Amino acid sequence: MPITIADVAARAKVSKTTVSRVLNGKGELDESTAARVRAVIDELGYVPSSRAVGLARGRTRVVGMLVPSLTWPWIGDVIQGAVDVLETERYGLLLFTCNRGEESMRQFGAQVSAKSFDGLLVIEPEGTLDYIATLHRRGLPVVLIDDRDQTSGEIPSVGTTQHDGAGSAARHLLEIGRTKPLVISGPEKFGCTQQRHAGFASVFAEAGHPIATDRLALGDFTVALGAEAVQTAIAAGVEFDSVFAHNDLAAIGAMQALLDAGRRVPQDVAVVGFDDIPTAAHTQPPLTTVHQPLREMGEAAARTLLAHFEGTPLPVRPTIIPTTFTVRPSTVA
């Protein structure tokens, strides 16, 4: 049988309330009484429920994290960054996904109501931003890891330089003499899609090579749509000497379709992605890509939340961590 707080109280000849006060450091206690209770705790080997102690203190030392799915290829890096910070500060992580849609959100809402965690990190599942904002307005500390560049500023957030990152991809292609890129975008409704297109297109326009409409393909961040965009462009006779895909998965699909069509990468067509997921370094050829600071974003979001627990106000402006550019053989043989 596990040792309970009642066992400690009985052995120390005090009330359970007194034992609780010793455990939580609350209230004024006679030092000899407190010492006796601590001695009994050690003697019996009593280990209090961390959840019970946390609730008594008004803090669980647990952070919640809401993400769309664990199948996204870059999401593990973000989570690992957050976990590295949380574990260092002896916090736990309670992870929620939205794999089951509304049912998942109901379960998440129940944990919010039960105050199972002190604050929340969010990679926003599509369509939940208003709900998350409501939780934040009601007092739940929230930090958004904003992968889509769409926060209104109401929720504290950590983001990256989508516009500038795409601009670095454009400058690289121009530097290696590629002036006719096929651009495979993400969903139009996402802010990151708009920023990546604007950043890329502006550099080409300034260089005197505006993006022709027949070289702009709408995608959905998947391998399949990346491949389909290339196949469609080839079938339509569109001339292009390079591909810029708004994420690495689409770039991988595009590269495979090029190779299947007998086009050499990079000799005939250079290919650039965006994200720098782990797979990008191991494609054939390895993929040149815009590196998103995914782990660093997770770390920064977790630090922001923990600092708030210690009294630092949540920032009003987004925390921005810049992208970098990784050149691999898909553009330079």
pLDDT, residue 16, reads 85
What pLDDT is recorded for position 198? 97
How many residues does the structure list for the chain?
333
pLDDT given at position 149: 62
Q: Hey, what domains does the chain have and what are their CATH numbers?
A: 5-57 (1.10.260.40), 62-160+294-322 (3.40.50.2300), 162-292 (3.40.50.2300)
Contact 96, 104 (CB under 8 A): yes
- Spatial separation of the C-alpha atoms in residues 262 and 205, rounded to whole Å: 30
Antiparallel, parallel or unpaired: β 270-275 and 242-245: parallel
Are the beta carbons of 217 and 188 closer than 8 angstroms? no
- Amino acid 31: pLDDT: 81
Work out the number of other CB atoms within 10 angstroms of the CB of residue 71: 9
From first to last of its 333 residues, the chain has per-residue pLDDT tens of 678 888 888 998 998 888 878 776 666 678 888 889 888 887 887 766 545 555 555 678 999 999 998 888 889 999 999 999 999 999 999 999 988 888 888 888 888 888 889 999 999 888 888 899 999 999 999 999 986 665 556 899 999 999 999 999 999 999 999 999 999 999 988 889 999 999 999 999 999 999 999 999 999 999 999 999 999 999 999 999 999 999 999 999 999 999 999 999 999 999 999 999 999 999 999 999 999 999 999 999 999 999 999 999 999 889 999 999 999 999 998
Euclidean distance between CA atoms 272 and 247, whole angstroms = 9
All residues at 6 or more sequence positions from 180 whose CB lies less than 8 Å from its CB, including other chains: 209, 212, 215, 239, 240, 241, 242
Positive/negative CA dihedral, 276, 281, 285, 288: positive
Is residue 184 within 8 Å of 246, Cβ to Cβ? yes
Residues in contact with 282: Cβ distance below 8 Å, sequence separation at least 6, in sequence order: none
Structure confidence at residue 333 (pLDDT): 83
